[in-house]
Structure 1
Amino acid sequence: MHIARTPDELRAALAGRQHPAFVPTMGNLHDGHIALVRQARTLGDCTVASIFVNRLQFLPHEDFDSYPRTFAADCAALEAAGCDVLFAPREADLYPEPQTFRVQPDPALADLLEGRFRPGFFGGVCTVVLKLFALVLGRTGGTAVFGQKDYQQLLVVRRMVQQFALPVQVVAGATQRAPDGLALSSRNGYLSPAERAEATALPQALARLATAWAATAPATPEAQAALEAEALHTLRARGWEPDYLTVRRRSDLLPPTASDAPGSLVALGAAKLGRTRLIDNLEC
């Protein structure tokens, strides 16, 4: 596996490649990331991963400085998974001057759900992803693989690619789960043993919400609100601090209408357990 630290080193490593398949990450890799790399290996003539902890997508009170950096272990895992090129720039390499040009995603999609509770988050994501796409895929185009666990992020990136007419195919990677159903996440490492045991309550709450929704479909707005309120109450009673538990349309994350058929919806949730904020989703 070739490790490139600068844009020039990356361009040299990709010389002659016609269709790279790219997996952007912030490092601290787990089996979910590695599954995306293995998926990418089937989609191009060169598998590229990046590791970059992007300051632009962290809010002032969030954990940028303490975000785990596990570079040696990440390199070993990527090489074992068959990654060809790792782009691991320093902050000064990717942002050699203050990044005053930013991508402003469509508020109709980006200011919902995660965007409501983490204002500016998707602007930071889109800015770094656009820059990484330019560096990794800009010469020839290619494929980028994003995990479906970050459901709204996947939709935002796809919308950005569409509106900027980028030569990039965005492919979703299925959410990887532990045997007990918890979605794999770098933030799971922050959980205490007791919190880790409790964390399965989030996917279970989403499954119950999706089942209840299907049983009442087509539900009135009042019935929808009651189902979501009950789901929130159940998590709060277990000691969680939920931001949202909701059912939305897969296409645009707006609330469903009576004409939206089962199979076109997704249940999404975000909640804090102790000091750790977890997100998850379940298509329904």
Structure 2
Amino acid sequence: MTAPATPRLIRTTKDLQAWSDSCRMDGRSIAMVPTMGALHAGHLSLVEAAAAKADAVVVSIFVNPTQFGPGEDFDAYPRTEASDVEKLTGRGVEVVFAPNAAEMYPEGFATTITVDGPASGLETDFRPHFFAGVATVVTKLLLAARPHHAFFGEKDYQQLLVVKRLSRDLNIGTEIVGRPTVREADDLALSSRNAYLDAPARHSASRLPAVLRHVVVALEAGAPAETALADGRAALQHEGFEVDYLSLCDADTLATPQPGKPRRLLVAARIGTTRLIDNMAVAPGI
């Protein structure tokens, strides 16, 4: 069955489950792309990969309140459902699941998924609430849609590893597929939060990936990690960033890197009032 040009809009988990059951009864595979909306080319690359992988594609649009802490941008986060659905039209998306908060967290909701392993450190050191909120909503989405595959971008690299571990540990049965970060012409990683940047901040933001690439080159040339990371933090601060972390981790576990294993360089930094995250692969060390 070919997906309709305009996706069907579903608001309740009951209706999403019914759609999923129908797909499975017909022998159709399902791919899901969970999002918080404000879709950009990075999201659409995930949709393209999902449509190439499965018979039916569902995209969720839900700004999840439980992953935002006090003083964060939950109220300001862009909500653009109509234009998001328009962007998905003609891209092989059969269903858009767009519930409200009461549907996802009805009165009396009292269950939270606690995660460890790759969730330890980095984002958790600055946003201790974040991964419990992500893990809980992703679990609910996967259980409602029962996709065979779910697609996430590598820009949120720690989140990607957390969701992979979650699906594996809880035997959810969904293959979690990571896809490369999509970047703007000046190399800044695409993010819905880039819309917060005014012109001067946007210009400064483009220096973030440039600094990361410089650190990657230094690390792969054999520079001590402590030296390369310290130089990178200093360079970011010189560009006007307030650095939360710039860390070199094992690419598979986010633990301390081991000789001969792939590494990942991860950063979170603020320019003005906007917090940006990014990451890049680093070849194995000796």
Q: TM-score range by the shorter chain?
A: over 0.9
| Alignment correspondent of 1:42 | 52
| Pair 1:94 & 2:108 matched | no
Give, in whole Å, the separation in 1 of the partners of 2:246 and 2:216.
10
* CA deviation profile, 1:213-266 (whole Å, cap 9, x unmatched): 11126xxxxx32222111111111111101111221101112223x234xx111
- Please tell me whether the aligned partners of residues 111 and 119 of structure 1 are also in contact (alpha carbons under 8 angstroms): no
| Alignment correspondent of 2:128 | 119
Query: Identical aligned pairs, as a percentage?
Result: 43
- Please tell me whether the aligned partners of residues 4 and 13 of structure 1 are also in contact (alpha carbons under 8 angstroms): no
- Please tell me whether the aligned partners of residues 2 and 13 of structure 1 are also in contact (alpha carbons under 8 angstroms): no
Unaligned runs of 5+ in 2: 1-6
Give, in whole Å, the separation in 2 of the partners of 1:253 and 1:277.
21
* CA deviation profile, 1:191-216 (whole Å, cap 9, x unmatched): 01121122111111111111111112
Secondary structure in structure 2 of the residue aligned to 1:150? helix
| Alignment correspondent of 1:240 | 241
Pick aligned residue for 1:27 from 26, 37, 40: 37
TM-score calculated relative to the size of structure 1? 0.92
Opposite residue 74 of structure 1, the aligned amino acid is: D
| Pair 1:201 & 2:207 matched | yes
| Alignment correspondent of 1:159 | 165
- Please tell me whether the aligned partners of residues 210 and 247 of structure 1 are also in contact (alpha carbons under 8 angstroms): no
Pick aligned residue for 2:268 from 251, 267, 270: 270
Opposite residue 277 of structure 2, the aligned amino acid is: I
Secondary structure in structure 2 of the residue aligned to 1:41? helix
* CA deviation profile, 1:15-37 (whole Å, cap 9, x unmatched): 42132100000011111011101
Unaligned runs of 5+ in 1: 218-222
Opposite residue 53 of structure 1, the aligned amino acid is: V
| Pair 1:251 & 2:252 matched | yes
| Alignment correspondent of 2:179 | 173
Pick aligned residue for 2:137 from 109, 128, 150: 128
Structure-2 change in CA distance of 1:203 and 1:136 (3 Å) = same
Give, in whole Å, the separation in 1 of the partners of 2:200 and 2:32.
36
Give, in whole Å, the separation in 2 of the partners of 1:35 and 1:109.
25
Opposite residue 166 of structure 1, the aligned amino acid is: I
Structure-2 change in CA distance of 1:234 and 1:166 (3 Å) = same
- Please tell me whether the aligned partners of residues 148 and 175 of structure 2 are also in contact (alpha carbons under 8 angstroms): yes
| Alignment correspondent of 1:280 | 278
Regions of 4+ moved over 4 Å: none
Secondary structure in structure 1 of the residue aligned to 2:121? coil
Give me the CA root mean square deviation.
1.3
